[in-house]
A and B are shown apart, each in its own frame.
Chain A
Amino acid sequence: MDRYTEMTADPGPRPAIPLATFSLAFDASPTSMLVTDARAEDHPIAWVNEAFLELTGYARHEVIGRNCRFLRGPDTDPAEVERMRRAVRAAEPISCELLNYRKDGTPFWNGMTINPVRDAQGRLLCFFAAQADMTEKHRLELAMRGTNDELERQVGERTADLEHALAQKTALLHEVDHRVKNNLQVISSLMLLKARRTPAGDAQDALQGMADRIGALSTAHRMLYSAGDVSHFDLSDFASDFLADVNAAVDSDRTRIEAEVESVSVAAAMAAPLALLIHELTANAIRHAFPDARPGRITVVAQRRESDLDIIISDDGVGLTDAAPNPAGFGRNLVEMLVRQLRGRVTWLDNAPGTRVEVRVPLQERA
Chain B
Amino acid sequence: MRGTHPAGGGNPDRPALRILVVEDEALIALELECLLDDLGHVTVGVAGSSREAIALGRETAPDVALVDIHLTDGPTGIEVARALSTDPRTTVVFMTANAKRIPEDFAGALGVIAKPYSERVVASTLDYVAGGRTGCDRRSCPDGFSLAPDGPQA
A7 to B8, CA, bound (A): 113
At the interface, is chain A mostly helix, strand, loop or mixed? helix
A241 to B119, CA, bound (A): 12
A249: Cβ under 8 A from any B Cβ: yes
A297: Cβ under 8 A from any B Cβ: no
A303 to B70, CA, bound (A): 39
A342 to B27, CA, bound (A): 34
Min C-beta distance of B75 to chain A, whole Å = 10
Residue of chain B at shortest CB distance from A170: B100
Interface residue tally on B, bucketed by range: 20 to 34
| A185-B115 in contact given A193-B34, A196-B34, A241-B144 (Cβ < 8 Å) | yes
B108-150: CB near A (< 8 Å → 1, else 0) gives 0000001111111001000000000000000000011000000
Question: CB distance A241 to B28 under 8 Å?
Answer: no
Query: Chain B interface: which of A12-20, A60-68, A84-92, A174-182?
Result: A174-182
A135 to B119, CA, bound (A): 81
Question: CB distance A245 to B34 under 8 Å?
Answer: no
A273-296: CB near B (< 8 Å → 1, else 0) gives 000000000000000000000000
B55: Cβ under 8 A from any A Cβ: no
Min C-beta distance of B23 to chain A, whole Å = 10
Interface residue tally on A, bucketed by range: 20 to 34
A31: Cβ under 8 A from any B Cβ: no
Question: CB distance B116 to A174 under 8 Å?
Answer: no
8 Å CB contact of B98 from A178, A193, A244: A178
A239-260: CB near B (< 8 Å → 1, else 0) gives 0110011001111100000000
Which 3 pairs, one residue from A and one from B, show the smallest C-beta to C-beta distance?
A181-B97, A218-B116, A189-B31
- Further pairs besides A189-B30, A218-B116: 13, Cβ < 8 Å: A178-B98, A181-B97, A182-B25, A184-B115, A185-B97, A185-B117, A189-B27, A189-B31, A196-B34, A215-B1, A215-B116, A244-B144, A249-B4
